[in-house]
Structure 1
């Protein structure tokens, strides 16, 4: 599938809150590591459109993903990349891939204008939680690291209820939580 709607709820955590959830819920003992490589134009045209573009390395595979606003969450458009195609992207020679390129063209963004800005590495633990996916992330980027709880749900209503219940049960303060790419760019601009 080249596209999907993602409905997710996020909350930044303290190290203590992260450890408490890790010990209280049956998350895997060992995390899976994934790295996101982020792209943008010099004029930040993706940001202006509420969009984000990344290549994610996970389990030895590379996926190019464009995230765009959607009334029910985020519209994600994916293309698989080979190792060689990924190297080209990271070295300033973006490779046209059907699905993402079509979406970029619809936003009037020239693929040749995309620049590699850097990466964010996450140690991720996933847990099936009812009919949702509960995720504990420890992310490292630039001079920063942070902890995050994420819930991916089938509906906005279900997701909101579940995340609120988890935060209440484990006495975790609800925090405004920008997504990873926003946190990455905020950290980069602060340097």
Structure 2
């Protein structure tokens, strides 16, 4: 099964903090990837109730369905590679079972036909490898919101914590309680209704 444990540290940034880090760290200033996440949930919010999230990510020519679930070390991510036609069916609320994510959804008692498309979030992402971690700067747009985010992905919690603390200290950025993108998306969706 296509699964991995995601260990990451996040911090929302102001536009000024984002631009300062973008300028100072060895990012390619002119190159970024753009990706769009399409989010799904049941009407009674069963995924959220289970601390989980389901998305389809379109990045370049690839479409990937990912179910994120709580795990003691971070998040358990279960993936299925799909095609554009399958993604379109899901966005039209006509989704079909997928090999890996459907198995996990069934274990949570969630039926595919109860899932509904909620909307999308588009991110312009820049990444660098830095001290055994991946440092990411994200600029995201969803509903009427724009936000900036620092994200550190690591193979171990201790490495991630160390780089996260170092970068926040170096740029005099306060640690902010930062919800993941789907939680921010949910909150913005409620406010836009």
| More off after superposition, 26-35 vs 114-123 | 26-35
Q: Deviation per CA, 1:106-149, whole angstroms, max 9, x where unpaired?
A: 00000100000000000000000111100000000000000000
Show the counterpart of 1:2. 2
- What TM-score do the two structures reach when normalised by structure 1? 0.99
CA distance in 1, matches of 2:116, 2:15: 33
Mapped pair 1:53 → 2:47 = no
The number of equivalent residue pairs is 191
Runs (4+) of structure 1 moved beyond 6 Å?
A: none
Unaligned runs of 5+ in 1: none
Q: How does 1:1-191 map to 2 (within 5 A)?
A: 2-29=2-29, 30-191=31-192
Q: Secondary structure at the match of 1:55?
A: strand
Q: Secondary structure at the match of 1:62?
A: strand
Unaligned runs of 5+ in 2: none
Q: Indicate the RMSD between aligned Cα atoms, in angstroms.
A: 0.7
